[in-house]
Amino acid sequence: AQSVTQLDSHVSVSEGTPVLLRCNYSSSYSPSLFWYVQHPNKGLQLLLKYTSAATLVKGINGFEAEFKKSETSFHLTKPSAHMSDAAEYFCVVSPSGSARQLTFGSGTQLTVLP
């Protein structure tokens, strides 16, 4: 069984300040973990993925995430928020070796204030 918990349903930051979106996971297997972003009225887009290589993963648009097995966490960070980062972010877990059975978190809505 696997699950993912996004600890904040809404996060609000000022432009130029750091972003932290928190995700904890539970998996019976060595998991693969992903972050997807969904802009309003747009399809979901892959930001980054962890697949048992380097624990610090860099994604698009300056985002990165660190896989911490001891904490079962995969938090998403960005040093400096931009207005265009305002969107909904989903943490996703999948059993390693399987392209199916992606389990999505409930999402975190990021608001960026001017």
Residue with tokens 């001891």: 70
Rounded to the nearest whole angstrom, what is the least distance from the CB of residue 15 to other proteins in the complex?
A: 26
CA–CA gap between residue 47 and residue 60 (Å, rounded):
6
Rounded to the nearest whole angstrom, what is the least distance from the CB of residue 31 to other proteins in the complex?
A: 9
How far, in Å, are 30, 39, 102, 103, 112 from residue 9 at the CA level? 26, 15, 20, 17, 14
Rounded to the nearest whole angstrom, what is the least distance from the CB of residue 99 to other proteins in the complex?
A: 5
CA–CA gap between residue 32 and residue 17 (Å, rounded):
29
**Between residues 42 and 114, which has the closer beta carbon with respect to other proteins?**
42
Q: Which residues bind other proteins (CB under 8 A)?
A: 9, 32, 34, 41-46, 49, 51-52, 90, 92, 94-102, 104-107
